[in-house]
Amino acid sequence: MKITVLGCGRWGSFHAWYADHIGHDVTLWGRPDSQHLQELLETRKNEYLSLPASVTLTSDLKAALAAADICIISISAQQLRSFARQLKAAFDTSLPFVLAMKGLEEGSGKRLTTVMAEELGPAVRTAVWVGPGHVQDFISGMPNCMVIASADEGLTHFLVDTFTSPLIRFYYGQDLLGIEIGAAAKNVMGIAAGMLDGAHLTSLKGALMARGAHELSVLVSAMGGQAMTVYGLSHLGDYEATLFSLHSNNRRFGQDFIEGRPFKKLAEGVSTTEALLDLSRKYGVELPITSAVHAIIKEKKDPHEVLKNLFLRSTKSE
């Protein structure tokens, strides 16, 4: 298959590496002014991996789309709407898109597949690729399980068959809404976990895991999804990689925030916090952990006080 990956940061470059690794013909696109693309053009390397010569690098978006049987998008979730508008004039409606990114649109709380449909039309074929794993682990040969989901069961099966390998085993996602919400929200839980690390309250991660999955299951159910979806790979199944790993940007952001260190990489959970609170108000569902993270980051409340109030000072039924 001819695979085009749009976005050449950490995950975009990995998806290009992975598609090439399992035998596909790969084009990796980056913006003309992208420092990531420039680094790859000059050295074929970034801080995570080396790209083989068989991966084509380009800044020509039209040519990248024309070369594709499948197009993977891996950019910041908050850039997706404006980027989809760029795609509108150049894509064929038969081209399937795979969103290898996690988040919700800040300001609307909309899922990323909804954004794609609004900008490219209801006929657009869009799937999501989510689940646990870090680039560093995959590159070293450490296998994991992930999930692909779309509203089109045939497309889901086609993509799973295309991308499955001994390195990544894919599951067929059955609940697109629940998978998208769960995948986005796990980054907020990652920030909360990092905050617990920074506050020397790491022992409370067990409570975070139990309460986090529960509060998200209530939200997903209220939105019309399946409550049990959040206990799968898109959310609870991704907690190990997000709440504990040193490679987790969201966990690292939370820890650095508490410890007063600047964090220069992308932590999607920050914007997702705002989006989840929009959904909380819309559907009348309380999200205490998300609210606590927001209170610490945006309202500048004392993190130790907020975290202790969240986990230690209220009597709750489990």
Residue 94 structure tokens: 């038969």
Angle, CA of 265, 267 and 272, to the nearest 5°:
155
Please report, for the chain, how many H helices and E strands are present, in that order: 14, 8
Closest listed residue to residue 230, CA positions, set 275, 311, 268, 287: 287
Annotated catalytic residue 186 = yes
Helix (H/G/I), strand (E/B), else coil: 80: helix
Residue 241 structure tokens: 């990689």
Which of 102, 110, 186, 205 is labelled catalytic?
A: 186
Residue 280 structure tokens: 């909380």
Whole-number Cα distances in Å, 215 to 64, 157, 204:
41, 30, 16
Contact by Cβ (8 Å): 89, 115: no
Q: What are phi and psi of 162, to 5 degrees?
A: -75, -35
Strand order in the sheet with 125-130: 56-58, 25-29, 2-6, 70-73, 96-99, 125-130, 144-150, 168-172
Helix (H/G/I), strand (E/B), else coil: 129: strand
Whole-number Å distance between alpha carbons of 232 and 251: 20
DSSP codes of every residue in 83-123: HHHHHTTT--TT-EEEE----B-TTT--BHHHHHHHHH-TT
Helix (H/G/I), strand (E/B), else coil: 232: coil
Catalytic residues: 186
